[in-house]
Amino acid sequence: MDMALKETFTNRLRDEGSAENSSQPSEERSSAGRNLERSGKQENRKSPTKKKKKKKKANRLTVDNFIAKAEQLSSIKLIKQKQDEDKAAARLHSFNSSCKFNEYAVPFSDKTERMKSLRSNNSAKWLKALDIREHVAVMNPEIVLSVEIYHNERKWVKTQEFLVLGRQMLTELRDVICCLTDQVMQKAGQYDPSGYFLIEDVFYNDLRHPSAIDYSEPIFNWLRNSKNEAVKKWECIINGELQQKQKALLGSVSTSHLPHFKAVDMHKARFCDVRFRLGAGYLYCHQGDCKHTIVIRDMRLIHPEDVHSRAAYPIVTFQLKQRSQKCSVCKIYMAAKVTVDDKWAQDNPCYFCDYCYSLLHSKDGNL
């Protein structure tokens, strides 16, 4: 009996020990789980502030990135703008290479007929319409001049601008200058082929046509016969009115001498042989007393982007667009008639519509 009781007692102790051992890990596990839950809750409590901080950091980073990108883009734009300005400055004096020419040239008569169409079109249209049948290479080194032509009455208005070569004759420029007076005189049947350029102290007369007149001859006669008057006028031109008054009061202003004028045939003079000053105003006279100011604005060597066909020059780089002329009297209707040296008109030439012309130039219905 004692042995049996001992065995049962020992078995119970073993069972209880095993139960306690088994319960200890579960309790440890449960306590560990509770600790994890508490830490998780604490982390959950702390997580909103951390998230906000992370968001703020991310926003700051994105803003900094955007600012850096914007500065980079602005610097790239500035660099590109500067490059464009440098390119424009480098190509300031060069002709646009996008204008293409057919490598051919026409005879002089056909070319002059085509030049007439230029008077109603701008330079770009003319460059496309010009049919060049013969390519004449430009000799290097070659000089390119930029010549401006101004209006005969509105002296400040530029009407045309050309690129001419240094080896070209002055007559080649004169043949492409467009003036309304030429058209008017042609329609009236009184066209005069005479004309001259006055550059510095040289008259370049156009005497190619048999009926041409030397416009400089009466000027030379006046200089010889009225030298004192010519000197006074020359002093007024050179010194101005102020110095003339000083001379009258003090008599201390030095007198200037007349230049030694001379005459040369226009068709024998090249631009490279002409003595001129850049930016100075010179004179082009034609049809008796129609006078234009011409300015040689620029001089440079020919550029690889320029047109290298001599037959294409002079090249029009600017052409004033012709507008419809209104009646000079009523200022309402378009002009249908033009008069030259009209004693009843206040302008010369003067433009009239049919109605105003009939009112001013008729008596009892008869012109």
Which pLDDT tens digit goes with each residue over 338-355? Answer: 888 888 888 888 999 988
Q: Are 307 and 320 in contact (CB under 8 A)?
A: no
* pLDDT at 321 (0 to 100): 83
Residue 35 belongs to what H/E stretch? Answer: helix 2-90
* pLDDT at 244 (0 to 100): 60
* pLDDT at 129 (0 to 100): 42
* pLDDT at 101 (0 to 100): 37
Closest CA to 179 of 112, 119, 267: 119
Q: Which two tokens stand for residue 47?
A: 């997580």
From the CB of residue 62, how many other CB atoms can be counted at a distance below 10 Å?
10
Closest CA to 170 of 288, 273, 307: 273
* pLDDT at 79 (0 to 100): 79
- pLDDT < 50 regions, the chain: 2, 19-27, 46, 92-109, 111-133
* pLDDT at 102 (0 to 100): 41
* Secondary structure E strands in the chain: 143-150, 158-165, 195-199, 202-205, 262-265, 281-286, 290-301, 315-319, 337-339, 350-352
Q: Can you give the pTM of this predicted structure?
A: 0.54
* pLDDT at 238 (0 to 100): 73
